[in-house]
A and B are shown apart, each in its own frame.
Chain A
């Protein structure tokens, strides 16, 4: 009885702010739900409309591409940085902190920084190379779909990679040192040590980071709304951005709810794949 009293506030919060809204979301997705006025039941219409909705399909395509590119770039860069942060040399602690600092700044604030820095006239990303004589013309970082895409990728890597580096570092430092010593005694070359000790040990952490990177990218929103406004020509509109537009710009809550449910199911499936991977980690 006492135990139930202790968990009561958490249970109440979860019921009112999680379970009930979750039920509402599913119900909304089967209705025509204007922002004001009465919802009407329309069955599967909202789901059936998704494939024909160009903003939605474009957003889904873009989000998948963005997720793939971000994940690949993140892993590549983080391996280089973790090699630095894991070094025994002096200064590696400072470097570690430097790489991590952008991560604690809010996405909105960080994105606004990049927005200012990418400006063609006043932005330092243009001023610096022009002062150094590297370019004569300012680069229009946000003007073409391709450049806007890569500018966003650069921002995201800069902002989030610190997290990946720190987690990898913890993984590396949890590997027993004796293993490497024994390997050295047996004459294993560094590349063999990497292959037979480091990578097998890090596998669960790599899997976890991969899942986090994918789920995080599928939900990206702030950076697109603020840096590119989804443009040019909706070329950087993500799924969550499309949901936001549908719900709060076109006031079509039902359609937005249906796309939300699709996104939710996809992420639940990814999380379900993740569970057995983590189970093996709990040894």
Chain B
């Protein structure tokens, strides 16, 4: 009786797992087929080739160029998010000052405002600041949207560091910045990894903001380039090349998640359930 139930459980679970994983795995398999092979109508690949990837390297500034734009924006977003949120998290956790509460409420309000509606005025604002059509401007906007989550996580992380540790460091003659660097930063590293991971994924996967902010084809990030491949901007729609591009776009996300799963889940727990 129990055996039957266990078998049934695995049958349903495996069927569901296949449904979830198949589109991802299929993209990898298809991206490694030659166009003739894909058109043959056979379900299974006959031979492997990197033709789709090499063709994608010839579109516009090339797959590497667009990937670099995405990476550059993501790294800038991560760096900015980590610095700004760590400093602010420390300030909110350790000090009382005038305007502390209203500022915290305003930062949390960023979560309440649908970000898609903010892109319109941001587009005009960036134009006035001369930051339109720039990856730096795009990264700044991404950093702003990461603030509520990042500051919440970092403030909680510093709250859990005993003040005695820092006081000991201060007694040993460290200044506040030095005490922060040597003592507390080591303890809040998990928090930093979490906000860096979320900032990277948010920036790398972002579609609407670069679609609106970037006009110059040489600055397009990976998702924008892929949608252009899809719409045939570079000639006929090339399904193989499109799948190769999607694989390049999704592999970093999957690898990062699988390697940093623990930090990801703790971020969900602290961010989604408290924010």
By a beta-carbon cutoff of 8 Å, the part of chain A in contact with chain B is 1-7, 9-11, 13-14, 16-22, 24-25, 28, 80-81, 84, 87, 89, 91-92, 94-95, 97-99, 101-102, 104-110, 112-117, 119, 122, 124, 127-128, 131, 158, 162-163, 166-167, 170, 205, 208, 212, 215, 218-219, 221-222, 225-226, 240, 243-244, 247-248, 253, 256-257, 260-261, 263-264, 267-268, 271, 281
Contacts and interface: CB of A to CB of B under 8 A. Distances in A.
B27 A113 contact: yes
A131 B176 CA distance: 68
Given A106-B207, A226-B230, A257-B121, 20 more contacts: A2-B176, A4-B97, A7-B100, A9-B83, A13-B144, A14-B106, A14-B110, A17-B144, A22-B113, A95-B14, A98-B16, A101-B257, A102-B23, A104-B256, A109-B246, A119-B239, A163-B272, A166-B265, A240-B208, A264-B117
Nearest to B265: A166
B223 A25 contact: no
A1 B17 contact: no
Contacts of B184: none
B273 A106 contact: no
Contact of A18 (B114, B144, B245): B144
Contacts of A219: 114-116
A14 B144 contact: yes
A268 B112 contact: yes
Interface string B80-122: 0001110110111011111110010011011011111110111
Contact of B273 (A5, A128, A167): A167
Contact of A7 (B92, B109, B114): B92
Contact of A124 (B26, B84, B147): B26
B204 interface: yes
Interface string B175-187: 0100000000000
A232 B151 CA distance: 43
**Nearest 6 A/B pairs, CB to CB:** A3-B95, A106-B205, A6-B91, A260-B117, A10-B88, A24-B121
Contacts of B264: 104
B242 A127 contact: no
Contacts of A257: 120-121
Interface string B186-211: 00000000000000010011111000
A264 to B, nearest CB: 5
B24 interface: yes
Contacts of B112: 267-268, 271
Contacts of A113: 23-24, 27, 243, 246
B9 A131 contact: no
A19 B106 contact: yes
A10 B38 contact: no
A248 B19 contact: no
A264 B114 contact: yes
Contacts of B208: 221-222, 240, 244
B181 to A, nearest CB: 13
A94 B20 CA distance: 12
B117 A226 contact: no
B10 A91 contact: yes
B130 interface: no
Contacts of A18: 106, 109-110, 113, 118, 144
B95 A10 contact: no
30 contacts: A1-B97, A3-B91, A4-B98, A7-B87, A10-B85, A10-B87, A13-B84, A17-B140, A24-B121, A95-B16, A99-B16, A101-B254, A102-B23, A106-B204, A106-B205, A106-B223, A106-B253, A108-B223, A109-B205, A110-B23, A116-B243, A116-B246, A122-B239, A219-B115, A222-B207, A240-B117, A243-B117, A244-B212, A247-B120, A261-B117
